[in-house]
Amino acid sequence: MTTPTYILTAPGSVVQVSAPLYVTGNGPLVAVPPLILSGPSPESIIAQITQNRKQALADICIENGYSFTPAAIEEKKLETRLDKTPLIQITRQVDLINPDANFSDEHTIAYAVFCFILAPDQNAPNGEVTHQFRNVIPDIQRAWMKDIYCGELAESTVTAALNDDIVKDEAGNRCYCAMVGFEVTARIDSKNPYLQG
C-alpha cells in the first residue's frame, strides 16, 4: 500500500490526496481515485475583507511618506484605552444586503476608522491641535483607497464620512480624534458567507 500525499492546494480551502491509494486484499491491488475534500476558507468573506483593510492601514508610517506612524492598529473594542497613541481602530458598523432579488448576494459593508493622537500641548486651543494633525484624515483615506477591491474580495470602495474633534481619554488628557467612514461593496454567497457570490 502506498502512502498518500496531502497537499493544501488553496489557502485553507482544499486538501487533496495527490497519489492513488492502492489497497491490498485477497485479490489484485485496487486503485482508489484521489480524494478531494472541499470546504470553506477558515474566515468569512467579511472577516477576510476586514483583515485586508487592517493590512492596508498598516502601510501608514512616516517612512512611507505619511504624516505619522501609528503605535497600534486594532479592531475597535468596547472600551477605548488610549495608553498607546497614535492609535488606529477599525470597526465594522453594519452589513447591508441589497434587497433587489437579482442582486441578493451584494453586500455593502460600512466601516469606521478612528485615529486617536494625544495632544502634545495639553493647553493649546482646539483649533491649533486640529490644524497640527490636519493630514491624518487624508493619510487614512490614501492608505485605505489604494486598493478599492480589497485584494479582489470587493467590487468597489467609497469614502462615506469624514470628521475630527478633540476628545478626552479616561485620565482626562486631550486627544485629537479623526474618523473616516468607508463603504465596501462585495458579492457574498447568500447561502454561504465563506464564499464570494
Task: Tell me which DSSP letter residue 59 carries.
Answer: T
Could you tell me if 107 and 135 lie in one domain?
A: yes
Residue for grid cell 483593510: 53
Could you tell me if 52 and 117 lie in one domain?
A: yes
Expressed as residue numbers, the domain containing 157 is: 45-187
Hey, what's the torsion of the CAs at 40, 41, 47, 48, to 10 degrees? -130
Low-confidence ranges of the chain (pLDDT < 70): 1-41, 77-81, 99-104
pLDDT of residue 76: 78
For 66, the 3-state DSSP assignment is: coil
Q: Which amino acid is at 31?
A: A
pLDDT of residue 5: 39
Could you tell me if 179 and 126 lie in one domain?
A: yes
- Domain-located, residue 194: no
pLDDT of residue 4: 41
- With a CB cutoff of 8 Å and minimum separation 6, the contacts of 64 are none
pLDDT of residue 100: 63
Could you tell me if 82 and 97 lie in one domain?
A: yes
Question: Residue 173 is part of a domain; what is its CATH number?
Answer: 3.30.70.1700
Separation of alpha carbons 26 and 144, rounded Å: 64
How many structural domains comprise the chain? Answer: 2
- Domain-located, residue 170: yes
| Beta-sheet pairing, 87-97 with 72-75 | parallel
In the β-sheet with 106-118, what is the strand arrangement from edge to edge? 72-75, 87-97, 106-118, 174-187, 156-168
pLDDT of residue 21: 40
Could you tell me if 24 and 111 lie in one domain?
A: no
pTM confidence score: 0.76
pLDDT digits (tens, 9 = 90+) for 179-193: 999 999 999 988 888
pLDDT of residue 79: 62
Could you tell me if 151 and 178 lie in one domain?
A: yes
pLDDT digits (tens, 9 = 90+) for 139-174: 999 999 999 999 999 999 999 999 999 998 888 899
Could you tell me if 27 and 75 lie in one domain?
A: no
- The Cα diameter of the chain in Å comes to 90
